[in-house]
Copies of this chain bind each other. A is one copy, B any other.
């Protein structure tokens, strides 16, 4: 049993990572970053609900909106429209937020050291590898080493889903009774999930591949359903 800090976005992945941490009996402190993304408001609602559901030791929101105001990404309020299509389409690379996981894991490392938590958990997974360089195993390995050296061995970076794809994460989440109905995945600035962006499509495909109905509501009309 360790004291850990987990990055909680409110999506399926971080919720499942949190469920793993709880099952392993860790003392869980969560941080949700507010960084100017179009879907940030809805992620935040989901993170808050997950925080309550899992009775976390603490849940902090850390605001990076001014820190990242000059960052270039379609995922951000300051950027262009969220592209529609499959996650592996070239257009989805517009949703990369430069160095996001480098920044998130760094801040969590400093906080972990300060509150004497020994691990920082990120919910990155295999489905992210194609587009997001700071979700790939080689990056996670390098960042783990940088955090280990930069904190004098006090903090370890952990990515429990690193080699799992979304299908497997949904399967695992189901087994762990993750409350998928309160998670948020869609990248768009609207309350109901669009069902068309890469993030929605990956989620829908993962539920379908498990023979499950996704419990959240979509604004898809039947003719637009994937």
Contact = CB atoms under 8 A, between A and B. Distances in A.
Interface of A: 60, 62-64, 66-68, 70-73, 97-103, 105-107, 109-111, 113-115, 133-134, 136, 138-139, 142-143, 145-152, 155
Contacts of A138: 149
A166 B142 CA distance: 29
A224 to B, nearest CB: 33
A68 B100 CA distance: 17
Contacts of A100: 110
Copies in the complex: 2
A98 B70 contact: no
A189 to B, nearest CB: 21
Given A103-B103, A106-B102, A107-B103, A114 B70 contact: yes
Contact of A67 (B102, B107, B139, B143): B107
B102 A150 contact: yes
B113 A98 contact: yes
Contact of A71 (B110, B149, B150): B110
A29 B97 CA distance: 20
Nearest to A136: B149
A150 B99 contact: yes
A66 to B, nearest CB: 6
A97 B103 CA distance: 16
29 contacts: A63-B66, A64-B67, A71-B110, A72-B113, A98-B110, A98-B113, A98-B151, A99-B110, A99-B147, A100-B110, A101-B150, A102-B106, A102-B150, A103-B106, A103-B109, A106-B106, A106-B107, A133-B150, A134-B150, A134-B151, A138-B149, A139-B149, A142-B142, A142-B145, A142-B148, A143-B146, A143-B150, A145-B145, A146-B146
Contacts of A134: 149-151
A134 to B, nearest CB: 4
A127 B89 CA distance: 48
Contacts of A60: 70
A75 B86 CA distance: 48
Most buried by B among A62, A105, A145, A146: A146
B103 A68 contact: no
